[in-house]
Amino acid sequence: MHASPFPHEPEGWEAPQTILLILAHPDDPEFFCGATIARWCALGHTVHYCLLTRGDKGVRDQVVSPEELAATREHEQRCAADTLGVKDVFYLDYEDGYLVADLETRRAVARVIRRVRPDILVTCDPTQIFGDNSINHPDHRTVGQVVVDALFPAAGNPLYFPELLHEEGLQPHSVHELWLTVTGHPNVSVDVTEQWERKIAALHCHATQIADMAALDERLRARRTPDSTPEAPRYEEKFRRFKFR
């Protein structure tokens, strides 16, 4: 018996997977789980990004042109995606900061799921309101809620948004797994020590969002697991994982 070409834990996938990340803003994929994305790409899986906004409000205490900022952040995101090995990046063009979990947005996300037909779907945990001395961005919570609602039951049921099937020819699709990032209830940890520097390199592409690159590097390299040392650090990214079949 031949060994599986994809025996790597904790995923346990036995074949190349199509992985779709649906998140709110440029830089969310890299900050939330960039090392895991790099791992998946290196293992031969195909990764797609769908971002609901172009990050047109990603500033602090300054007034800039939202259109110019969005264009810059789109370029930054493409750079970061290329650094990790992501196949493509596309946007749904909602306004940054104003995401709402309504039926129109749910339809748009269900459309993306049916078009890409991923095996694995990744988004934010919609229940995560607070972090350590922080408040989770409302767009992060909203995108998670929209994706979960679009995934079940809309994406896999032909009677939901029937225009997707009858007018656009998009057949229903059910994913094998849902992975939630930015979660307070993880049930899987991915060892990403080998990919940690690649995550940092990808984040360097997001220059508009990082005031002090050296300080960011220091914080990220200090985020090692408690059982490791500065001389031999180990890094993990955590998710809440649901397997449907």
Categorize the per-residue pLDDT at 211 as very low, low, confident or very high, splitting at 50, 70 and 90: confident
Its pTM stands at: 0.94
73-95 pLDDT, tens per residue?
Answer: 999 999 999 999 999 999 999 99
Delimit the domains of the chain by residue range. 18-243
Q: Give dist(CA 66, CA 69) in Å, integer.
A: 5
Tell me the mean pLDDT in the region 203-232: 95
82-95 burial, b if ≥16 CB within 10 A, otherwise e?
Answer: ebbbbeebebbebe
Span between the terminal Cα atoms of the chain, in Å:
24
Residues 158-188 pLDDT 10s: 999 999 999 999 999 999 999 999 999 999 9
Among the four given CATH numbers 3.30.70.260, 3.20.20.100, 3.40.50.10320, 3.40.50.880, the one describing domain 18-243? 3.40.50.10320
Sheet holding 120-124, edge to edge: 88-94, 46-53, 18-23, 120-124, 177-181, 236-243, 188-191
Contact 198, 34 (CB under 8 A): yes
Q: How much is the pLDDT for 17?
A: 97
Q: What is the pLDDT of residues 92-144, one digit of tens each?
A: 999 999 999 999 999 999 999 999 999 999 999 999 999 888 999 999 999 99
